[in-house]
Amino acid sequence: MDELLAIIKQQTSTIEQLTNELTLLREQVDYLRQKLYGKSSEKVVYQPGQLSLFGEESLLEEEADLPS
Looking at residue 27, its pLDDT comes to 98
Domain that holds residue 11: 2-65
Nearest to 48 by CA among 36, 40, 57: 57
pLDDT, one tens digit per residue, over 1-58 is 999 999 999 999 999 999 999 999 999 999 999 999 888 766 667 777 776 666 665 5
* Domain total of the chain: 1
More confident: 61 or 4: 4
Report how far Cα 25 is from the mean position of its chain's Cα atoms: 15
Looking at residue 65, its pLDDT comes to 65
